[in-house]
Amino acid sequence: MGSIGSMGKPRMGFLVAAIQFPAPVVNSRADIDRQVESIVRTLKATKAGYPGVELIVFPEYSTQGLNTAKWLTDEFLCDIPGPETEAFSRACQEAGVYGVFSIMERNPDPTKNPYNTAIIIDPAGDIVLKYRKLFPWNPIEPWYPGDLGMPVCEGPGGSKLAVCICHDGMIPELAREAAYKGCNVYIRISGYSTQVNDQWILTNRSNAWQNLMYTVSVNLAGYDGTFYYFGEGQVCNFDGTTLVQGQRNPWEIVTAEIYPQLADNARLSWGLENNIYNLGHRGYVAVPGGEPDAGLTYIKDLAAGRYRLPWEDEMDIKDGSIYGYPTTGGRFGNE
């Protein structure tokens, strides 16, 4: 089902490597340039050490760090495409691998806050998937909510890949959306500190099990002068079990063999636990084809734009003021 010490390409499926990249300390544009160089160097070294690897994943914030005093300034933002993504593309092409990278992306609308973006680059050097974080980690993150939905792309070894970013993985509906669009390998990149270590492991497993898909997840590792980041690269099987679990070590490379065909087979042949199918086909033993309407109020309200919690009026925190962000909106919240 998977392995810890893989270095060769399996005959079925593919080999993945998730890099527990050290938490960057970024104070200048020159620091970002050094981060890009380090990511490129690490990608090439990983391919050299694991010749059969076909997908290499880097955590959220590995390019531009988490310097909250500067991360919204123009100097710290990147464009897609841009010099940074061009360097990543060349590296993927030269190494012959798929790569997953994190970019804090300048918003094309200069009146709005930037996006927290992930990209997948294929072995030809082409950006084959671009995802903007749908659920920024409120109230600490100022990123503009993503507007590209949950895209899915072809990957190695018969995989269909999707990427979510950090807190996105706490939203079960987002994993379900990826699976609903055909994803069988769900990638999660993050920059969490240790407060949610247990929840990280739990949700990576539950996202896999509830959707009969593999999950590949990796976090920053180490101390950046403010927070400690837990690493904990994790690959989960489509039955929700953990195949490989990293530790808290910066630079640890978590590898696993993934067999998308097995996840696809479960979706086609399982009955009792085919929950992603059963959601829209309730009681198909009694009702031929099943009842398609689950009658879930929150889904209907969300679709209609009227989602509202019963306790919403009593909540203490519903904006970013606790972290010093103005509440008036506009670019960077300053207008």
CA dihedral sign of residues 94, 100, 102, 103: positive
Instruction: Tell me the catalytic residues.
Output: 60, 133, 166
The CA distance from 290 to 279, in Å, is: 9
Backbone angles phi, psi at 220, to 5 degrees: -55, 160
Nearest to 101 by CA among 187, 223, 1, 22: 187
Tell me the chain's radius of gyration from C-alpha atoms.
20
CA dihedral sign of residues 109, 114, 120, 122: positive
Cα–Cα separations (whole angstroms), residue 165 to 61, 68, 115, 192: 10, 18, 11, 10
Q: How many CB atoms lie within 10 A of CB 77?
A: 18
| CA torsion angle 87 105 184 58 (round to 10) | 50
The CA distance from 77 to 202, in Å, is: 32
For residue 292, say if its preceding peptide bond is cis, omega within 30 degrees of 0.
Answer: no
Residues facing residue 218 across a β-bridge: 189
Q: How far apart are the first and last CA of the chain?
A: 53
DSSP for 101-169, written as a single string: EEEEEPPSSTTSPPEEEEEEE-TTS-EEEEEE-SS--TTT--PPPP-S----EE-GGG-EEEEEEGGGG
| CA torsion angle 251 252 256 260 (round to 10) | -40
